[in-house]
Structures are given as structure tokens and as C-alpha cells.
């Protein structure tokens, strides 16, 4: 990675704080409740940095064009800006912003990465849209690379089919315009913080709806 693409060092990264110190076990089988209280305390600090870490990862897409006319961060910002300006709600806009965040880690299944990040926080409809946007986006180019552009047809009938088709048609596929003025990433951070403030679904949710850590 070029030096100018590295995120600037933070003066103090609270995500590594351990308010009660560290546990001392060597295996989970000999960990005590006191050990786990230390981990829970540290994790509650760590969780507060979730959005910051996502922003850091989005910034990895900067300068990464992969042959496209604009880089992957600009494409993400443009997709989200188009959705925002069309009056879509915050959850949808955050999905639009993150839909390609997996491009660097999931070269052969990038929608799964975004879907995994968003899954605790978004509706079934938005989750399905993010999870499946790749095959819907394929309608616009797969015939150019030896694939079936109509592959999405096998998903027709799903309640979110048209919803996802609209996402790609209106916001994703047109978001490669080098002359478009996107909103800056900072403008989306408060939206991410609100949408991701508390998980709706998680294996770490207690019956009362609070997270265990
Ligand atoms: Fe994508
Ligand atoms: Fe995209």
C-alpha cells in the first residue's frame, strides 16, 4: 500500500483500553467469571469504536480503482449520496455506503462481507438487498464478461427482488461518474453511528434485549 493511502495514526485509540485489566486464563475451560468481567469491560470500550473501524476500512478503498473509472471509495460515496439525495432513509443510505466494503477481503463474494457487517442492524429487506446486490448488478455487465446477465432471474419471486433491482438501477450502477459531487465520508459517520448504535439481532443479545458484551 502506498504511504499516502495509510490512515493517519490516531493519538489515542480507546479501542485497546482494558478498564479492569486482562484475564489470566490459559484456556476457556479454566476461565472464571472474574476473567470474563474483565473481557466484557474491555469489549464495551471496544464496541464504541465499531464505526471508526468501519470508516478505517472504507478508507482502504481509496485509490483502489481496479480498472474502474473512479476508486471504490468514491463509488461507495456516490452510491450513498445518490440514495440520500433521493430521500431514502438512513438505514438504506448506510447499506448503500457499505455495500462494496468487502471488495478488498471478499474478491469472489464481496456482498457477503457487507451483509455480515450490516446483519445485526438492518431489516431483512435491506440485508437481502446487500447480500444479493452482486447478482443484480451483474444484469448491467455480466454479458460483457461471459456470464449470464439474467442470473438474477433465479431469485425472482423473492419479496425483495424489485427492491434490490431498484437499488442497483438507481444508485449502484450509475455511481461511476467522475464528475459527480459526492458527500464526504464524514457526512455519513453520524448516520452509521445511529444505525449501528445497538444490534437488533445478535447471538450476544440477552433476553432483555441488552448485549452481553
Ligand atoms: Fe458490489
Ligand atoms: Fe457497487
Residue 101, Cβ density class (10 Å: 0-12 exposed, 13-18 middle, ≥19 buried):
buried
| DSSP single-letter state for residue 16 | G
What is the rounded distance in angstroms from the CA atom of residue 129 to the CA atom of residue 94? 12
Confidence of residue 209 (pLDDT cuts 50, 70, 90): confident
Which ligand is nearest the CA of 167, by number? 2
Task: Look at residue 15 in the predicted model and tell me its pLDDT.
Answer: 61
Ion ligand 2, residue ranges at CB < 5 A: 100, 172
Give me the helices (H) in 49-141, please. 50-59, 72-85, 90-98, 110-118, 124-137
Residue 211 · residue 204 · CB < 8 Å: yes
How many A from CA of 125 to the centre of ligand 2? 18
pLDDT digits 0-9 by tens, 112-170:
999 999 999 999 999 999 999 999 999 999 999 999 999 999 999 999 999 999 999 99
DSSP 169: I
Q: What is the pLDDT of residues 173-208, one digit of tens each?
A: 999 999 999 999 999 999 999 999 999 999 999 988
Compute the distance between CA of residue 150 and CA of residue 92 in angstroms, rounded to an integer: 25
CA atoms within a 13 Å half-sphere pointing along the CA-CB vector of 40:
11
For residue 63, the CA-to-ligand 1 centroid distance in Å is 17
| φ and ψ of 84, to 5 deg | -60, -45
Amino acid at each position: 500500500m502506498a504511504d499516502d493511502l495509510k490512515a493517519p495514526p490516531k493519538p489515542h485509540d480507546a479501542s485497546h483500553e482494558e478498564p479492569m485489566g486482562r484475564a489470566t486464563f490459559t484456556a476457556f475451560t479454566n476461565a472464571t467469571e472474574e476473567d470474563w468481567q474483565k473481557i466484557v469491560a474491555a469489549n464495551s470500550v471496544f464496541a464504541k469504536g465499531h464505526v471508526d473501524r468501519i470508516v478505517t476500512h472504507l478508507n482502504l478503498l481509496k485509490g483502489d480503482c481496479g480498472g474502474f473509472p473512479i476508486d471504490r471509495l468514491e463509488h461507495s460515496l456516490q452510491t450513498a449520496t445518490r440514495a440520500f439525495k433521493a430521500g431514502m432513509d438512513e438505514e438504506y443510505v448506510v447499506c448503500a455506503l457499505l455495500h462494496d466494503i468487502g471488495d478488498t477481503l471478499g474478491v469472489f463474494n464481496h456482498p457477503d462481507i457487507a451483509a455480515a457487517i450490516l446483519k445485526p442492524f438492518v431489516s431483512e429487506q435491506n440485508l437481502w438487498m446487500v447480500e444479493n446486490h452482486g447478482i443484480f448488478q451483474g444484469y448491467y455487465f455480466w454479458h460483457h464478461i461471459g456470464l449470464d446477465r439474467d442470473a438474477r432471474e433465479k431469485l425472482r419471486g423473492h419479496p425483495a427482488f424489485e427492491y434490490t433491482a431498484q437499488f442497483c438501477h438507481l444508485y449502484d450502477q450509475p455511481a461511476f461518474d467522475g464528475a459527480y459531487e459526492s458527500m464526504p465520508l464524514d457526512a455519513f459517520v453520524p448516520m452509521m453511528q445511529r444505525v449501528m448504535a445497538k444490534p437488533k439481532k445478535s447471538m450476544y443479545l440477552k433476553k432483555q434485549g441488552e448485549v452481553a458484551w
